[in-house]
Amino acid sequence: MASVYSAGDFRNGTTFEMDGNVYRVVEFQHVKPGKGSAFVRTKIRNVITGSVLEKTFNPSEKFPAAEIEKKEMQYLYEDGGLYYFMDNETYEQIPLNSEQLGDSLKFLKENMNVKVLSYKGKVFSIEPPIFVELEVTYTEPGFAGNTATTSGKPATLENGYQLNVPMFVNIGDVVRVDTRTGEYMERI
């Protein structure tokens, strides 16, 4: 892991220290205007307070990388808005709320192993596997003559997540989803 990041290297999920706080990049955009110098427009989340900041950086600005601990844990179940994860070694369970889980929530499935991220002992996020396989629980039927080249149709997956799938995907099919983009990859 890099010990220093320049703003030009920011990607979603990059964690760095700035002004005595630790931030995680939620969104970034490299902007190169016709006149003037390039810059990086970001949305960053303070991993301790959860507050989100919109900030613009010069691509050459440098920030120390934050030492983030990643621990493999298993997602067990949801109860009353809390999502329970179990340490695979100690069997200790920890509850996390939807704010801590963020966008990763839409890819969770019971008994799935994820990486739980913490900074100085405080959990702030999870990392699901890069690809998850989920069953389609609802989609409109496709019809003969439709090819995979059309824009697709909406589908609801077993965990409630909705995305577009090709016309040939049906209820009961299992699809692979890329958790980095939230997009359909293939039917299994």
Domains of the chain listed by start with CATH number: 4-64 (2.30.30.30), 69-127 (2.40.50.140), 131-187 (2.40.50.140)
Q: Give SS3 for 99.
A: helix
pTM over 0.85, yes/no: no
The per-residue pLDDT for range 146-168, each reduced to its tens digit, is: 555 557 899 999 999 999 999 99
Q: What is the mean pLDDT of residues 20-27?
A: 90
The per-residue pLDDT for range 63-102, each reduced to its tens digit, is: 999 988 999 999 999 999 999 999 999 999 999 998 888 8
Query: What number of other Cβ atoms are within 10 A of residue 1's Cβ?
Result: 8
Place of tokens 């179940």: 77
In the prediction, which pLDDT does 107 show?
Answer: 93
Higher per-residue pLDDT: 116 or 2:
116
Q: What is the mean pLDDT of residues 165-187?
A: 92
In the prediction, which pLDDT does 119 show?
Answer: 87
Lowest mean pLDDT among 58-62, 89-93, 109-113, 149-153: 149-153
> How far is 44 from 51, CA to CA, in rounded Å?
8
In the prediction, which pLDDT does 151 show?
Answer: 72
Spatial contact of 156 and 171, defined as CB atoms under 8 Å apart: no
Query: What number of other Cβ atoms are within 10 A of residue 96's Cβ?
Result: 20
Spatial contact of 186 and 173, defined as CB atoms under 8 Å apart: no
Strands (E), 11-148: 15-18, 21-31, 39-46, 52-57, 62-64, 69-79, 82-87, 93-97, 113-119, 122-127, 131-139
> How far is 101 from 124, CA to CA, in rounded Å?
8
Cβ burial of 42 (10 Å; 0-12, 13-18, 19+) is: buried
Q: Is the pLDDT of residue 1 over 50?
A: no
Question: Residue 131: which residues within 8 A CB-CB, separation 6 or more?
Answer: 176, 177, 178, 179, 185
The per-residue pLDDT for range 114-153, each reduced to its tens digit, is: 999 988 888 888 999 999 999 999 999 876 555 555 578 9
> How far is 100 from 63, CA to CA, in rounded Å?
24
